[in-house]
């Protein structure tokens, strides 16, 4: 009898401890188990372009390293804004990622009066992946073999020639606008819902040119002819192709790509994903594939990407202004 009375306080204490422990388990288990269901990467552009290629390459690698299915969800339209607007409404739990680009997250605020999201407050930066210089390409059957050919043709028939892009505010759009301004010509912009559809029309001859980031496959396949690269130095993948500056048009234009989560994502999840993507970027097969599409690999910390993305918004204010691209 005395033994049971003495044990009562200790029994109550054990029960209380168990209740407290059980109350803590859900968050502990959730963290320890992440990820325990499929992960989605939203690509706010149509299939086939550089952004889509990068997204699918990383999805495959991330699925292998994290042990869950990783799917790419293409949500194209409005210069990347439709997919990004959808993304910022998702839960910040690490199961929905955004393949952010300079077009939407840096240039967009200066091109659209209403984007539908705040380029800083609505995002948690995870990692900067890479940058890809734009390349001036024309159909393989085009008579043009240099930038000067384009300039001379336009001056003979102003406003008759067209360039395609992935949409208003895309890197192709801004690069084309820069080219017009710097060279003093009048080519017409034809926006698409992604660089993939634009490249298809270019190959078919429905548009005349494109300053693109994802055309290396079509170049190597003999479908498109590169005339110049919009970078400071020649691309390793296209060593025989001159820079725009070498071709007489002093301009530089490239697009960057990074992974973001919605605002207020848990620090533990952000750190885990940052580690996973940095490790992916060091794998030889990933590096080879990135170099094949002309990408310059980045990587780094969340803090570095946060500072970079904010500084890019300011930098693109000048680029957009100088390009002469109108605000929608």
- pLDDT, one tens digit per residue, over 295-307 is 989 999 999 999 9
DSSP for residue 241: S
Contacting residues for 158 by C-beta, under 8 A, at least 6 apart: 185, 186
Judged against a pLDDT cut of 90, whether residue 1 lies above it is answered with no
Same fold, 38-130+255-323 and 135-229: yes
Express each pLDDT in 306-323 by its tens digit. 999 999 999 999 888 877
pLDDT score for 326:
67
Express each pLDDT in 76-122 by its tens digit. 988 899 999 999 999 999 999 999 999 999 999 998 888 999 999 99
Can you name the residues that pair with 243 across neighbouring β-strands? 229
How many Cβ atoms are within 10 Å of 65's Cβ, its own excluded?
14
| Cα dihedral value 173, 178, 181, 183, nearest 10 | -110
Contacting residues for 271 by C-beta, under 8 A, at least 6 apart: 302
Q: Which comes out higher in pLDDT, residue 45 or 16?
A: 45
Q: Is the Cβ–Cβ distance between 91 and 39 less than 8 Å?
A: no
- Answer positive or negative: Cα dihedral of 213, 253, 231, 164: positive
Q: Fold for domain 38-130+255-323? A: D-Maltodextrin-Binding Protein; domain 2 (3.40.190)
What are the extents of the domains in the chain? 38-130+255-323, 135-229
Express each pLDDT in 205-251 by its tens digit. 999 999 998 888 899 999 999 999 999 899 888 999 999 999 999 99
Q: Please count the residues of the chain.
A: 328
Q: How far is CA 69 from CA 32, 38, 64, in A?
A: 18, 5, 8
Judged against a pLDDT cut of 90, whether residue 257 lies above it is answered with yes
Residue 248 CA to residue 244 CA, distance in Å, equals 6
Please give the class, per CATH, of domain 135-229.
alpha beta
Express each pLDDT in 138-150 by its tens digit. 999 999 999 999 9
pLDDT score for 31:
52
Residue 35 CA to residue 7 CA, distance in Å, equals 42
DSSP, collapsed to helix, strand or coil, labels residue 274 as helix
């Amino acid at each position: 009898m005395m033994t049971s009375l003495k044990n009562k306080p200790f029994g109550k204490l054990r029960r209380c401890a168990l209740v407290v422990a059980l109350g803590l388990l859900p968050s502990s288990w959730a963290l320890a188990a992440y990820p325990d269901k499929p992960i989605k990467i939203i690509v706010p552009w149509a299939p086939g372009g550089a952004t889509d290629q990068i997204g699918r390459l990383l999805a495959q690698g991330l699925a292998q390293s994290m042990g869950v299915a990783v799917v790419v969800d293409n949500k194209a339209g409005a210069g990347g804004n439709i997919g990004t607007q959808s993304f910022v409404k998702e839960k910040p739990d690490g199961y929905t990622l955004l393949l952010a680009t300079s077009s939407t997250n840096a240039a967009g605020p200066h091109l659209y009066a209403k984007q539908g999201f705040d380029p800083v407050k609505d995002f948690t930066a995870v990692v900067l992946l890479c940058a890809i210089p734009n390349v001036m390409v024309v159909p393989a059957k085009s008579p043009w073999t240099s930038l000067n050919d384009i300039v001379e043709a336009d001056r003979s028939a102003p406003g008759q020639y067209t360039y395609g892009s992935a949409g208003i505010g895309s890197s192709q759009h801004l690069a084309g606008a820069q080219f017009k301004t710097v060279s003093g010509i009048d080519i017409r912009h034809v926006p698409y819902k992604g660089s993939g559809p634009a490249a298809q029309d270019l190959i078919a001859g429905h548009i005349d040119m494109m300053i693109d980031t994802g055309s290396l496959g079509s170049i190597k396949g003999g479908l498109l002819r590169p005339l110049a690269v919009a970078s400071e130095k020649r691309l390793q993948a296209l060593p025989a192709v001159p820079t725009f500056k070498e071709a007489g048009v002093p301009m530089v234009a490239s697009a960057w790509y990074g992974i973001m989560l919605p605002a207020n994502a848990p620090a533990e999840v952000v750190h885990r994903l940052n580690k996973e993507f940095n490790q992916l970027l060091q794998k030889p097969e990933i590096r080879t594939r990135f170099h094949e599409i002309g990408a310059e690999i980045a990587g780094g910390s969340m803090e570095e990407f946060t500072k970079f993305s904010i500084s890019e918004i300011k930098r693109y204010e000048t680029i957009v202004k100088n390009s002469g691209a109108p605000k929608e």
